[in-house]
Structure 1
């Protein structure tokens, strides 16, 4: 495997550093950075047409900045912090929907050169600089844009640092590398376990024995491995590393075709490819580079779940979860709203549903909620699927009666409709566990019919894992494979 550099058909963002990127719907998005001036432009790269597009931005557009963080949560893009003109440091948080920015009403520590990540609908922000190097950890609930009080419960904790990377993995925070204000590396790697209490979060830091002595590197998690590229110690690096957290092992990935050394570039995952853009090595870089990552595990779904986050039971046992009185089915006898499905009427506790469903949160307490809703007509929804939704909302566990594959995909569509991300992830994981030689074609066809790209991609990967000749499974080619074919057609030989 080697790096591939793309020549796009039109001019892209231009050379810069301190910018950020995310991927959404197989497109790459890049915001801001510094090229001698602070920037707040917003670009997207389209694989299908090999074109960059400068996006029109509306609303409360973030001020020009670099060294901010950008992330995506539940389909919404966010920008946080960074530095601008006159050493201005930002403590703001912006969200983007339909190309319209909204500045959220929250005041965070103004900082730049910091790092951050998102997980379980929470934003985690660490370190950076705000007149001095910081060791502060801030945690924000992205459901309601409130900030948790953070209590460090361990004697060990990371030193103040800038230009580090932070990742969320298996309900832990992984802090890697960075440097001090005088650019001396802070090579320690820390793991934070945390526990959410009533109104605060307890943090327990522990330091690993291994180290990574660079700053300004990128870090991407894919298929249970962290991939670290570039950065700087006494010079800028062109090395790609893999970091196996479970085995505490960091190693260089050897490849023939290297790209230019750099720091403070941006990195994302598209399909199973690591995507690098820009950065600085004495000059502002403007190249778009790809590296196809190997598939390590049997379930490359981008979900962070325990090994078996579901329980399958007989239909009669499933129905026993509900009591019945006067034609109303209820899990808990305390309910304040009736919801009519296709065949059954359910008594529900609204306060329970709003914790798991964005749809019900908006319906009951959103800007357009009218009065105290006592009845909701969802007669177009299957009662079995809604019963699964209810049990998940009360128990935070996926409990399924025995369903056929079509019913499972309809459950996924209901999750989309009700905006229930965690239930969808667990249901997808359950379906993935059932993919074998006998079911791969059926599940692949259903994933196309129901436009579920993640399971479609998984089936294509499973074909190679099962060592099945591709011709045995008609039309099974993942979007990742298609993307890589496009990339190879566009590639040029890298010149050192």
Structure 2
């Protein structure tokens, strides 16, 4: 995977740092910062200009701003909640520190009635209609956490329940995920690193929110980095320790592991740039490395948890055999097909009757666990009618239940998708994951159209998104993918077009 630097068709924002961005309706929005703009002081100025980048047409557009337009500022935070864009805090001329909160809708800015600490260099995020603000600087480095209810602009009382809490810091990142706050990195006023990573559990009691911080063993010794979340991973780019960084890292919140991501092509090192996610691409703009940057760069993020794929698997999680070999897995007596002669229930599929051991199916399938262990009368039956189920698919299910291994006869793509639907019906997550892995391995230029169409027909969003991802990786001619239509695919087509523009 590589970075793509985009040459837009018109001039966009000038070089800057301390600006902010959000993604909305497949467009990138950038506000303010400190840097160089045409007809301004070439040494740099605080800015309050507002731009959008049109992904479809590769064009920058200046956004009309009316109403109570925020004063020029940098190192503020910008976020989106329920379709409304917000800007909060930051620093301006003569070391002004802002504690204000503005909303933007229909080209109109409205200053909200809040009483927040004036601060800059702080971190912020939004979750469950609440704004969380941490740290920054207001004459000194701060460790205060403020929380605002964005539905009525009221502030919560914050109570820290334990002694262990993050030290004061600036230039950190803050994210909200599953009712938790994740605080990463930063530095002090003297630029001493605060490399610790904290996770806070948030519990609301009426107008008070109780915060319990937990210090992780993992550290990220940088400040001024960007951080975005995509597909259950956090991606950290850039920042500075003793020098500016051009590295991209992934942070897994479940394992607490940070891993560097190798890139074939890199972009310039930088700090205090902005970053957002559009489709499955990390998009960064601007930043500072001794010079104000004004480049727009894309990096395709892997769909790590969307389709269970890993090049590090020691072996294939499936075995392909002929139809004859598959049939030989089952014995046949008195009209019954069975894998093991110890069976206590007969299951009739569309063409074949199978003898099964209930205890084996209970261990493999949520459906059969509920059926045979529950209070249903079927749990006591010696026969079960599943005549709407394909016998080949059920044979695969039965072998998997006994062997915990995916044994596949030669199937066409439609039969494979019927198997996935049966996995959903029978609540067999592991079998579904392995089957999806198998299908994903077969995606190439010749099969992507068929697999994509089947993923739509069978409402399999995971493989639909994977096909979208493969559009870019296969570098298919654009005319070959014109019939693929989805947000993910369209994003990939746009990136491919922009990549072609860049290569020229």
- TM-score using structure 1 length: 0.67
Mapping of residues 296-375 of structure 1, within 5 Å: 296-298=304-306
CA–CA distance in 2 between the matches of 1:37 and 1:167? 29
Mapping of residues 34-433 of structure 1, within 5 Å: 34-35=34-35, 36-298=44-306
Give unmatched runs, 5+ long, in structure 1.
301-432, 448-454
2:484 matched to 1:475? Answer: yes
2:497 matched to 1:486? Answer: yes
CA–CA distance in 1 between the matches of 2:466 and 2:220? 34
CA contact (8 A) 2:231 2:306 kept: no
CA–CA distance in 2 between the matches of 1:463 and 1:290? 19
CA contact (8 A) 1:4 1:492 kept: no
CA contact (8 A) 1:460 1:476 kept: no
Which residue of 1 is the match for residue 31 of structure 2? 31
CA contact (8 A) 1:116 1:126 kept: yes
Residue in structure 1 matching 2:465, options 452, 457, 461: 461
- Further displaced range: 157-166 or 167-176: 167-176
TM-superposed deviation, 1:463? 4.7
String of CA shifts for 1:118-160, please: whole Å, max 9, x gaps: 0111100000000000000001111111000000001110000
Mapping of residues 429-444 of structure 1, within 5 Å: 444=456
TM-superposed deviation, 1:445? 7.6
CA–CA distance in 1 between the matches of 2:93 and 2:482? 57
Q: What is the aligned residue count?
A: 353
Q: Secondary structure at the match of 2:141?
A: coil
CA–CA distance in 1 between the matches of 2:92 and 2:285? 21
Query: Cα 1:99–1:442, aligned 2, differ >3 Å: closer, same or farther?
Result: farther
Query: Cα 1:442–1:239, aligned 2, differ >3 Å: closer, same or farther?
Result: closer
CA–CA distance in 1 between the matches of 2:135 and 2:51? 27
CA–CA distance in 2 between the matches of 1:149 and 1:241? 35
TM-superposed deviation, 1:273? 0.5
Q: Secondary structure at the match of 2:156?
A: strand
TM-superposed deviation, 1:171? 1.4
TM-superposed deviation, 1:22? 0.5
CA contact (8 A) 2:3 2:265 kept: yes
String of CA shifts for 1:82-112, please: whole Å, max 9, x gaps: 0001100000000011010000011100000
Query: Cα 1:443–1:122, aligned 2, differ >3 Å: closer, same or farther?
Result: farther
TM-superposed deviation, 1:472? 12
TM-superposed deviation, 1:484? 1.8
CA–CA distance in 2 between the matches of 1:8 and 1:194? 42
CA–CA distance in 1 between the matches of 2:68 and 2:46? 17
String of CA shifts for 1:24-53, please: whole Å, max 9, x gaps: 111110000001110000001112211111
Query: Cα 1:442–1:58, aligned 2, differ >3 Å: closer, same or farther?
Result: farther
Q: Secondary structure at the match of 1:480?
A: helix
Q: Secondary structure at the match of 1:41?
A: strand
CA–CA distance in 1 between the matches of 2:154 and 2:52? 30
Which residue of 1 is the match for residue 322 of structure 2? none
Q: Secondary structure at the match of 1:294?
A: coil
